[in-house]
Structure 1
Amino acid sequence: MGSLADITPPIALGALDGRYRRVVAPLVDHLSEAALNRARIHVEVEWLIHLTHSQVVPGVRQLTETEIAKLRGIVADFDAQAIDELAQIERETVHDVKAVEYYLKARMPDIVGQDAAQLSELIHFCCTSEDINNLCYALLVKGAVQTVWMPKAEDLLEQLSTMAHELAAVPLLSRTHGQAATPSTLGKELAVLTYRLRRQLRRVDSTQYLGKLNGATGTYGAHLAAVPEANWPAISRTFVTDRLGLSWNPLTTQIESHDWQAELYSDLARFNRILHNLCTDVWTYISMGYFAQVRGQGSVGSSTMPHKVNPIRFENAEANLEVSNALLDVLSATLVQSRLQRDLTDSSMQRNVGTAIGHSLLALDNVSRGLAGLDAVPEVMAADLDANWEVLGEPIQSAMRALGAQGVAGMENPYERLKELTRGRRINGEDLREFVRGLGLPAEVEARMLELTPQSYIGLAPQLVADHL
């Protein structure tokens, strides 16, 4: 038997790059190894442009607009051939960031002509690898979250919001502790989850993506030694904020502290957990018949039971959310720690960011597709409500309490009287109405209680959806 490892093109080891490639492919532009190297070239190029534009080093000329355009073209034209060339250089340097430096220096003669030797010295000038890498990761994660993950999450919340509004007045029997409880509406229950997810999305959207450029131990030591008259903190700040569009971290060791990453990954994980809660709730509603999976009739639900349509989208989403959170949790816990001024744990750890966000993105896709295949079944919900008239014990005893507080006679022990009627036994509508008629309620209150049904006992549920979603 031949080895699958020898097949060309190579077979993906992981599901994200194999079975689910179509869904997560947009993340390749941000969180792949090739994207990291392209970002390194981008940061190195912008640092060179920034140094010459600011005339930081005496005697070094500014780059022309044509030269700047050609330098930025190296980033824009980064392709498969460039990836291969960079890989060949790295095999010699055995250092990924140094390979980028050499890759750029090799192109300088064609860009700046006879000044290549002089200007090439400003590539990676006074930088440690982490000066480049931390900025790259901030740019890459920002791009992945803002242009790929968030639009998918926002689309899902819009889909959920639409469902919540459409189903705002469809009553269902609530279950607290698994037991029949005060009715709600299907739309209001979806609205609760939508509201929670939106709140987390706002936290993700407010993330500060920090970056630093201050040398081997964060002291600007090499910078000051090379050009002592320059205001290096100001140069660093304007580069990070104005040129790269990041937030400047003024005080670090060799590494940017990664606290912003830990905060972001915790927020993403919390969003995932709420989405997982939605999956399990919708799965349960499907199992109870409250939702019918009627769309996509060509799909096979079970290999042996033709009547079944399994809720696979929600189950798939659950699994991917759990994998995503396992990675996000370890990222947020690990990245905030570094031995003294530097260790390389973060370097290996950050290479898993794409996988973590990829599994979350895949879950978003599955939930969206799952929801699109659902239709509410109000008659099933109505049947459950009609079989549980005992849930009206709550409003009746509450009305009696209010009357007792107002001094109306005969309203003693309302809770206990309803408990005796309803606990451990089923009652129907006529049983309850007979009980109400015997309470001696004021006429207006009695009429209101007699009109009440499990289907109508939904409080302000529709209004809450309209007002807050």
Structure 2
Amino acid sequence: MELNSLSAISPIDGRYRNTTSALAAYFSEYALIKYRVFIEVEYFIALCDHPLPQLRDFDKNATEKLRDIYKNFSEADAADIKNIEKTTNHDVKAVEYFLKKQFDSLGLQDYKEFIHFGLTSQDINNTAIPYSFKLAVNEVYLPEINGLVDLLKNFAREWDAVPMLAHTHGQPASPTRLGKEISVFVERLENQLALLKAVPYSAKFGGATGNFNAHHVAYPEIEWKAFGNHFINDILGLHRSQFTTQIEHYDNFAAQCDALKRINNILIDLDRDMWTYISMNFFKQKIKAGEIGSSAMPHKVNPIDFENSEGNLGIANALFEHLAAKLPISRLQRDLTDSTVLRNIGVPVAHTLIAIRSTVKGLNKLLLNEAAINASLEANWAVVAEAIQTILRREAYPNPYEALKDLTRTNMQVNAQTIAGFVDALDVSDAVKNEIKAITPQNYTGI
């Protein structure tokens, strides 16, 4: 079958292709090859700028022609590299041979042996992948999650004064405000996003076992550690790990996966709360003409967006957890288990992107049902018992907690009249009675 949205094995490239297509520029096979080419070209230019003795006469006017190789990199170029790989059976070596052909066509054949000079494949992979991952986070993920946070902030402001019955352990609890409950998620998301942004995008660059062996033996007079730090930190904008094996140790990448997983857990919590509020009729949902809620029950409008989001977040988190647990572990100076795993970095990001957009879609369907919210408050006057017994404690009234417990647990229905009758019988001043009578489920919402 020809690969298309109907024949794709993964829904990422099938059903949800329109949602995830932006990630192809960072996580596809084409993207991986392109960023490998980018690293190789920039490394060669850095060697010329150093300069190595054999590269001192390199015409700097050719620099932009070299950069055009990756700036104008096409699918045909990627296919050319894949064809070379059929012979080499080595993906990074295929990139090197492709670049040598490009050097030949540009009349730079005298310099082509300095392509990939002194490097191992992981010097390319462990820079290309964090570089593309950083771009994907900054250019795709953060705008999407920040858009969701901004939407929540708008709801928090809009619903700031809306009193709502809270539920702890699934039971009616002291009233809160709907806007404040939304602000809980805003604060949690912003805090975890700050932690995500604080983790460096680490890269490995130092030859076959991390010691610049080949570089040093060829040019012992050059400070290769300083060169590597400048190339990775200043030119690429990454963070060079100083002591590595053949591969990056991935500890910071694991931290990023854990940070993304924590953010996703918060979104799962949000999805479930919104789903529950809808089930309690606190929210209704906007209906789009022609849409079907249930194939059997015509009346239903299901909260499918929050359910879709929760499911995709679960898949994403399972993969983030595996990436974080597996990648920092490698036998001795390296084994190959990280290679195939690294190719899946885009998968949990894609499921996360699908989830974020589903949550946003669900939030935008919400219609506040203040009548139902107020009715739930009116039906639960017992929740003001906390307020009453606390004021009575202040007044040194004997056994106030026990008195309110007896009231709220022995009466079949506690309402405004029940509370008023209880207060009238209290041996306290009229001022305190009036203070207590002024408390309602609607105004007992704290600060």
Task: Establish whether TM, by shorter chain, passes 0.5.
Answer: yes
Q: Comparing 9-18 with 207-216, which one deviates more in the overlay?
A: 9-18
Correspondence for 1:93: 88
Shift of 1:62: 4.9
CA contact (8 A) 1:210 1:248 kept: yes
Q: C-alpha separation between the residues in 1 aligned to 2:357 and 2:4?
A: 30
Contact 1:49 1:63 in 2 (8 A): no
| Distance 1:23-1:391 versus aligned 2 partners, 3 A rule | same
1:408-457 deviation per Cα after TM superposition (whole angstroms, max 9, x unaligned): xxx10000000000025321101101111211233332212101111111
1:392 and 2:388 aligned: no
Q: Does structure 1 residue 108 correspond to structure 2 residue 100? A: no
Please identify, of 123-132 and 208-217, the stretch whose mean Cα deviation from structure 2 is larger.
208-217
Count residues with an aligned counterpart.
446
Partner Cα separation in structure 2 for residue 270 and residue 6 of structure 1 = 38
Moved more, 246-255 or 317-326: 246-255
Distance 1:298 1:69, change over 3 A: same
Tell me which of 66, 69, 86 is aligned to 2:64.
69
Match for 2:276: what amino acid?
T
The CA deviation at 1:7 is 7.0
Q: Cα offset for 1:248?
A: 1.6
The one of 423, 437, 440 aligned to 1:436: 423
The CA deviation string for residues 108-143 of structure 1, in whole angstroms up to 9 with x for no partner, is 0232x2x41x31011000000000100011101101
Change (3 A) 1:151 1:92: same
Distance (whole Å) between structure 1 residues aligned to residue 210 and residue 242 of structure 2: 9
Amino acid at match of 1:419: K
* Alpha-carbon shift at residue 299 of structure 1 (Å): 2.0
| TM-score normalized by the length of structure 2 | 0.97
Is the 1:313–1:367 contact (alpha carbons within 8 Å) kept by the matching residues of 2?
Answer: yes
- Note if 1:417 corresponds to 2:396: no
Q: Assess, with a 3 A threshold, how the Cα gap between structure 1 residues 7 and 50 changes in structure 2: closer, same or farther.
A: closer
Instruction: Tell me the distance in 1 between the aligned counterparts of 2:401 and 2:137.
Output: 52
The gaps in structure 1 that reach 5 residues or longer are 405-410, 461-469
List aligned pairs for 1:33-432, cutoff 5 A: 33-55=29-51, 57-111=52-106, 113=107, 115-116=108-109, 118-404=110-396, 411-423=397-409, 425-432=412-419
CA distance change for structure 1 residues 9 and 387 in 2, over 3 Å: closer, same or farther? closer
**C-alpha distance in structure 2 between counterparts of 1:81 and 1:228, whole Å:** 40
- SS at the partner of 1:173? strand
Output one character per residue of 1:162-198: Cα deviation in whole Å (capped at 9) or x when no partner. Answer: 0011111111111111111101111111111121111
**8 Å contact kept, 2:30–2:75:** no
Q: Does 1:456 align with 2:447?
A: no
Q: Name the stretch that deviates more: 61-70 or 272-281.
A: 61-70
In angstroms, what is the RMSD of aligned CA positions?
1.4
Give 1:297 shift.
4.0
1: CA distance, partners of 2:28 / 2:165: 47
The amino acid across from 1:341 in the alignment is Q
458 and 353 in structure 1: CA distance in 2 versus 1, 3 angstrom threshold: same
Contact 2:254–2:323 under 8 Å retained in 1: yes
CA-CA distance at 1:64 after TM superposition: 3.3
Deviations 1:187-229 (A, max 9, x none): 1111111211111111112220011211111111111111111
C-alpha distance in 2 between matches for 1:426 and 1:104: 81
Aligned mates of 2:392, 2:6 — CA distance in 1: 73
SS of 1:124's equivalent in the other structure is: coil
Q: Residue 296 of structure 1 contacts residue 373 of structure 1 at CA under 8 Å; is this kept in 2?
A: no
Contact 1:53/1:63 (8 A) holds in 2: no
Tell me the percent identity: 42
Q: Distance in 2 between matches of 1:7 and 1:350?
A: 23
TM-score (norm 1): 0.93
- SS for the counterpart of 2:95 is helix
Say if 1:7 and 1:108 are closer, same or farther in 2 by CA, change over 3 A: closer
1:407 corresponds to: none
CA distance in 2, matches of 1:76, 1:7: 27
